Amino acid sequence: MVAAGLLFFASLSLALARPTGIDELHVHERRSNVPYGFRYIGKADPNATLNLRIALAQSNPAGLEAALYDVSTPGSKNYRQHLSKAEVQALVTPKPESVKAVTTWLSKNNVATAQASPAGDWLSIEVPVSKASALLGTQFGEYAHEKSNTTVIRTLAYSVPASVKGHLDVIFPATSYVNSHNSDEKAKRANTKSSSSQTSLKAAPTALAAVDDSCKTEITPKCLQSIYNIPSAPTFSNSSDIVVASFAGEAATSQDLQTFLAQFRPDIKKKALSQSTFSVKSLDGGATNFSSGTTEASLDIQYTAGVATNVPTTFISVGSNTTDGIAGFLDIINSLLAQDEVPSVLTTSFGFNEKDIPAGVGRNLCNAYAQLGARGTTVLFGSGDGGVSGIQSTQGCSAFVPTFPSTCPFVTSVGGTRGFGPEVAVSFSSGGFSNLFPRPQYQDKAVTTYLKKLGKTNNGLFNASGRAFPDIAAQAQGFQVVRNGEVIPVAGTSAASPTVASLVALLNDAILKDGGKPVGFLNPFLYSTGISALTDVTQGNNPGCGTNGFPAASGWDAVTGLGTPDFTKLLNTIKKNASES
């Protein structure tokens, strides 16, 4: 049935992409087959409504990238002199001729448009399936996602007229087969036992005397403060803040946070304890009044609000009023970009397998993260929990599966570790190389050195020229979390990302206290002067796809990146950079 459906769509797409008189249609995007986990049911109801988004060609993406690196690279005269909202929008707002070409095409077909992003680089349209099929020279079908028992209306290929070529980047979600990913499933991994590793542990040259021995199996805020030298004192001001992005019905409660703080942050005075809370914002119909908590959201809130003492924390609840999981990612970024002031830190514990993301959508979302970075936001993502097999463990993979958005070169990807003295990579820490984004210059030296050490290991299973991830790592196993009044152990790089988010927020607070500016996009700093402030992780690996995966090694590696952070060293290095610039 599936094969027949694919053959039908392929032939129909070619037939409908033939000349239509004045404006010839050309295939713009095509998939070779239905992605794993989806099944073709049949033709979509012609009267069903499709909500489509159209990404227009941005006016100066190269200029955006150059501006991002200019404000993010130590030694630059503009280091941490972040751009304003207007300055960033000027780099991405489509040229008038692009807007005219696309809107004229749609208007001729009686399709109304609405602006769907602050800079106008995304438009939205609402049309019946019959009109969308005719407009795009294809036949939309109905597909079932077998695991979630949901259906979507998609196509394997679509065409656009010659008149919009070069003006239109991608139409979403026409060929996007992605189901909303719920990190709660991965966060429930039992982790009271040590994570397995193909690499035997070596004795530590020196132990961290201040770290309680219980931290080898149970991670609390006190453990993280000891291992990474994170200060416990309340912040200086409210200028530093954290936004936690959450999806798929995740929920955190203030009551669980207060219980968590009372048990694991007894150092916080009673008055300050009552002030330690978080605000909730709704997007796409996300809930805001939570009667009970879920694992992932409780983890994210308790290890941001509970570690970055008194740093304002906002939980953005993205609901299901979207076309798929990627749409929520687009919406949350566009909502932040629409603000006059962007958050100083954004952490997300959700993601996708890169191969499931249409290339045009991936590039546009990545450029949106670049816009945030250029304005001063540190964008963090957990690298994933499937080792080299993807966002979660994937059986039967014949090649390594990179994860997205971690492969975007404009975000900081966080892998996972466990233990201390020394820390060791957790076996589920996703890492590897992108098949979509080339390796950025800032990591050339570090990654090239690793590839030389790797030799022919895993040869042919990954794209050695792709953007390498993760960038750094942090503890990711044994986190003590309060969920509906009960303490449970949680594991995943979804624990590592909020940990780093808290550390960065406290760095920003200390810098702002001295009259400085937020650190923003971290990677050019981390791969240059910042590397001396990181603790190298050299043991462990991330198996998957029938292999041992990548090994941890001295310097950067595809399991733990450059290593784990040390707050004191990072702060001193940042201050030194500021004095030298």
Residues belonging to the active site: 296, 300, 494
What CA–CA distance (Å, rounded) separates 546 from 96? 51
Query: CB count, 10 Å around CB of 576?
Result: 13
Q: At CA 497, angle to CA 221 and CA 501, rounded to 5?
A: 70
In terms of residues, how long is the chain?
A: 581
How many CA atoms lie within 13 Å of 16's alpha carbon, on the beta-carbon side? 21
Tokens 């080339």, located at residue: 438
Rounded Cα distance between 326 and 349, Å, is 14
Q: Are strands 345-348 and 242-246 parallel, antiparallel or unpaired?
A: parallel
CA distance 501 to 518: 13
Angle between helices 493-513 and 221-228 (to 10 degrees): 60
Class of residue 505 by CB neighbours under 10 A (exposed 0-12, middle 13-18, buried 19+): buried
How many Cα atoms are found within 13 Å in the side-chain-facing hemisphere of 188? 7
Specify whether the CB–CB gap between 352 and 181 falls below 8 A: yes
Question: Residue 164's CB: how many other CB atoms inside 10 A?
Answer: 21
In 3-state terms, what secondary structure has residue 114?
A: strand
Q: Which of 393, 406, 414 is nearest to 494 (CA)?
A: 414
Alpha-carbon distance 280 to 208, whole Å?
Answer: 37
